[in-house]
Amino acid sequence: MAQVVVVTSGKGGVGKTTSSAAFATGLAQRGKKTVVIDFDVGLRNLDLIMGVERRVVFDIVNVISGEARLNQALIRDKRVETLSILPASQTRDKDALTREGVQKIIEELSKDFDYILCDSPAGIEKGALLALYFADQAIVVTNPEVSSVRDSDRILGVLQSRSKRAEEKREPVKEHLLVTRFDPARVERGEMLKLEDIREILSIPLLGVIPESESVLRASNTGTPVIMDAESMAGQAYADAVARFLGEEKPHRFIEAEKKGIFKRLFGGRAA
């Protein structure tokens, strides 16, 4: 039976879709049959970050409304054999998503995939609630800033009360914390929250810390999940997070400010 994993946040712009693309790719690179679903109906960005926007013919709403079969809407990734993408609609309203329709899709995908990743819209509107309703596990994405962490705390409350597991009084959704856009130097200057403070507020296990990196923007602009950039710190941090998700022990990297020598102090230097 497939594990349904929702990638969620309370606030927009924290790197949720980037994280969904990276995680889905990382799982597939490790031989796990993985499908990632874009639930952001009307805004659709996952296909751009995955580099498949020109291959979108049908989407999740077409499948729910009976205009296309699921296998017609699924897009196989050309780089990683075990990875597929189910895009969102760019022209329909979020009300086109129904619980029954989403359940049918997840049940069908569960027959063929090990992991179903749900790239949730930010907040708690209909698409977000549907994305998290069927979750077995949740990756809560937050930035090291007060408003983002506070909104993530609200999402944790929703996961604990409005998921299918909560309704059926089953074992709760397994929660993971992913901190993105982390800059240790800014933390030292008091411009960002410390990791300890974020962990204390949210009280869920830390899955990964993704450093602020120009490689994330480069990857998004070229339609390549950043985890495929194995030379970049962000790519390595996502790979570490995927390994932890699969039960491996990995120390957290890129969480301490780099001690710059005189050359770097004089001439600077940015993260890759």
Whether the Cβ atoms of residue 97 and residue 41 lie closer than 8 Å to each other: yes
Q: How many CB atoms lie within 10 A of CB 162?
A: 13
Running DSSP on this structure, what letter comes out for residue 53?
Answer: G
Distances (CA, A) of 237 to 41, 54, 164, 264: 29, 29, 31, 23
Q: Is 11 annotated as a binding residue?
A: yes
Running DSSP on this structure, what letter comes out for residue 267?
Answer: H
Edge-first strand order for the sheet with 174-182 is 75-76, 83-86, 34-38, 115-119, 3-8, 137-142, 174-182, 206-211
Distance, CA of 67 to CA of 236 (rounded, Å) = 40
Q: Is 269 annotated as a binding residue?
A: no
Distance, CA of 227 to CA of 222 (rounded, Å) = 13
Q: Name, in order, each residue with C-beta under 8 angstroms of 169's C-beta and a sequence gap of 6 or more.
A: none
Q: Name, in order, each residue with C-beta under 8 angstroms of 37's C-beta and a sequence gap of 6 or more.
A: 60, 85, 86, 105, 116, 117, 118, 119, 131
Q: Is 15 annotated as a binding residue?
A: yes
Q: Is 247 annotated as a binding residue?
A: no
Residue ranges for the binding site for ATP? Answer: 11-18
Residue ranges for the binding site? Answer: 11-18
